[in-house]
């Protein structure tokens, strides 16, 4: 299977300098094809060479360079399905709500275990939300105002939309936050769980059914069917255990600064770059960005 090897440096690090490439020049099949000088380069390979990938990781291990092996065919995807918390934004919104409710340590501990796949996501979500009962809903607006967006996210969404792709934010978080993030970054649509609020207070419950790992896979399938696409036309990105299903199901699944179990499950892992690295994966050069 015709394969492409990509090396992608953290933005502005210039880690793919000629000097650094000399470390691995003997391992690579000729000169690079540059997507952006000093930041992203690729080579054609006759087959999927995981041994080469491991050798390159060892040789470049001290540099902020991501390595990806991907099929050459169908690189430019027509659907983006993305997680929100710790992917498109730096925060875990449920942890921030827990801190506001005075239950920060308990909520954060549950989140950590759930994202590593050690707890059932749905049960863990109900348990954490219950700790927020009685919290004023105004805290949601306060947290929205402090949203810390991941670099490269808006560029990724805008560029894919410009080239005809559909974009969907699909989160195990809450619609109160995904609505804001989707609007600010330009997603066509968003899907998440709904916190139940009454009389200006968070009620400690979430509307059923809960959108979790299986629901993300279902959403991916429903989106491709509605848009007349196939799973192979989709690229998915996330960081936690509840993203593994959609990462494994899509034509290209990306673990973004993810937990170890997610990195192990993904086709591609981005540990150093920002979200715009997903454009290099899809054969967009730097000048193609919008």
- pLDDT, tens digit, for every residue of 247-265? 999 999 999 999 999 999 9
Catalytic residue selected from 12, 38, 85, 120? 85
- pLDDT, tens digit, for every residue of 45-103? 999 899 999 999 999 989 999 999 999 999 999 999 999 999 999 999 999 999 999 99
Instruction: Tell me how far apart the alpha carbons of residues 193 and 83 are, in angstroms, rounded to a whole number.
Output: 13
271 flagged as catalytic: no
Give me the domains of the chain, ranges plus CATH numbers. 1-73 (3.30.70.260)
| pLDDT score of 195 more than 70 | yes
Nearest to 248 by CA among 234, 258, 259, 228: 234
Instruction: Tell me how far apart the alpha carbons of residues 127 and 113 are, in angstroms, rounded to a whole number.
Output: 13
Give the 3-state secondary structure of residue 43: strand
85 flagged as catalytic: yes
Catalytic residue selected from 49, 62, 66, 83? 83
| Tokens standing for residue 77 | 């995807």
Q: Could you give the angle at the alpha carbon of 41 between the alpha carbons of 39 and 46, nearest 5°?
A: 160
């Amino acid at each position: 299977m015709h394969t492409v090897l990509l090396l992608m440096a953290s933005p502005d690090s210039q880690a793919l300098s000629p000097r650094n490439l000399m470390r691995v020049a003997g391992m690579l099949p000729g000169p690079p094809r540059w997507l952006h000088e000093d930041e992203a380069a690729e080579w054609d390979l006759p087959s999927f060479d995981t041994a080469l990938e491991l050798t390159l990781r060892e040789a470049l291990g001290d540099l902020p360079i991501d390595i990806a092996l991907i099929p050459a065919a169908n690189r430019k995807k027509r659907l983006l399905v993305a997680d929100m918390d710790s992917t498109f934004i730096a925060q875990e919104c449920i942890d921030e709500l827990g801190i506001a409710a005075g239950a920060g340590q308990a909520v954060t501990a549950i989140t950590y275990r759930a994202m590593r796949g050690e707890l059932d996501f749905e049960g863990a979500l109900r348990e954490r939300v219950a700790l927020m009962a009685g919290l004023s809903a105004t805290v949601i607006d306060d947290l929205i105002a402090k949203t810390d967006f991941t670099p490269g996210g808006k560029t990724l969404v805008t560029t894919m939309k410009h080239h005809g792709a559909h974009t969907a934010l699909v989160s195990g978080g809450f619609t109160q936050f995904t609505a804001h993030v989707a609007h600010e970054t330009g997603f066509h649509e968003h899907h998440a769980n709904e916190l139940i609020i009454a009389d200006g207070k968070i009620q400690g419950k979430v509307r059923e059914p809960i959108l979790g790992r299986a629901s993300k896979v279902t959403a991916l399938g429903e989106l491709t069917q509605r848009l007349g696409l196939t799973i192979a036309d989709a690229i998915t990105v996330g960081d936690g255990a509840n993203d593994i299903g959609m990462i494994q199901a899509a034509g290209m699944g990306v673990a973004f600064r993810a937990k170890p179990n997610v990195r192990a499950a993904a086709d591609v892992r981005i540990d150093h770059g920002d979200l715009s690295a997903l454009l290099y994966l899809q054969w967009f050069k730097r000048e193609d960005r919008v």
